[in-house]
Structures are given as structure tokens and as C-alpha cells.
Amino acid sequence: MTSAPTAALTYLVAGQTGAHERQLARFDDNQWQEYLDLLSGLFVLTAERRFRPGEPAAVIRFVASVRERFDPAGTAIDPTVAETLMYAALGQHDTLPATAETITTQTLLVVALVTDEGLSPAGLADLIDDTTTMIALQSEPAELEKPPEAVDPAPAEEADLPAPDTTADDDRAAQQ
């Protein structure tokens, strides 16, 4: 069964904005966190598919194209924030805190990245599956390493020696 956040993300990348917004309106706090994790995962996945680290001109051109498509007035997408998000997705910058501005910008960047790929419905489903798998793998706790077994600090030669003979000490103590 598909989770509500996964369904919302599927609606988003399929261009079904009404269904996407209706789904978002019903989220509780845990679902919001899951959705943001999925959105960030999809963002990283699609950014890495399109760009290579060290290509700032390509990132700048892409951000400019996103602003032309989704922000003709030039007020909704801060190019510095958008470029920083792209560089963070490519591992070239620290991530930005989740704010209304960064989430909105990241959402528009994801929509543009996915739209530009021109995926079929099956390709979109595979992309969402890849994203959920990636997020699931990242959220699994690392297997704890077993502590090393206790080792006798005495070297084997000493451990194999018989106990010292204390009868002479016992005789001396008895004489006193």
C-alpha cells in the first residue's frame, strides 16, 4: 500500500496539482516529515541524474530556466537559494534549513527536473520507487557491531603455568 506522502509526491511529479494539494492538506506531522524526506530524496536523485559536480554554469542556466517557467515576475524563486539547493544536492554545499522558501524552491526545482526528463507514467513510477527505496535504506539503523570478545590479558604461556607453590610461605607463617 502506498503511503499518503508517497501518493502526494506521485501526484506532484505527474502534474496533478489539485490531488497533490488535497493530499497535503490531510497530513499530520509525521506525514509531513515523511513527505519532506521523500521530496528531498527525489531532489537529490534527479539532480544527480542531470548534473555533475563542478558544473556551475549548467546549474545557473537550469535555475534561470526554472525561474522563467515558474516565476515570470521574479519574486518567488531566489536564484541564490535555488543554486545553493542544487549545489547541496550535488554534495558541493551544506544543506539549507527547511523553511517555506527552501521547500517551495526545492519543489519547483523537482518539478522542473522531473518534467525535463520526459518520463512515461511507468518511468515516473520507477523514479518514485527508486526514491522510496533510497529513503528506506537511509533510515534503516546501521547494524550494530558486536563488541570484541573478552580477551585474557595474560599471554598464553603464563596462563598455562601451574599455580605457584605456596607451601614454603605457609611453613614460614606457621613458625612465626
- Residue 55, Ramachandran bin (φ over 0: left; ψ between -120 and 50: alpha; else beta): beta
pTM of the complete model:
0.76
Do 39 and 109 contact (CB within 8 A), yes or no? no
pLDDT tens for 131-158 read: 999 988 887 665 444 444 444 444 444 4
pLDDT tens for 46-79 read: 999 999 888 899 999 999 999 999 988 888 899 9
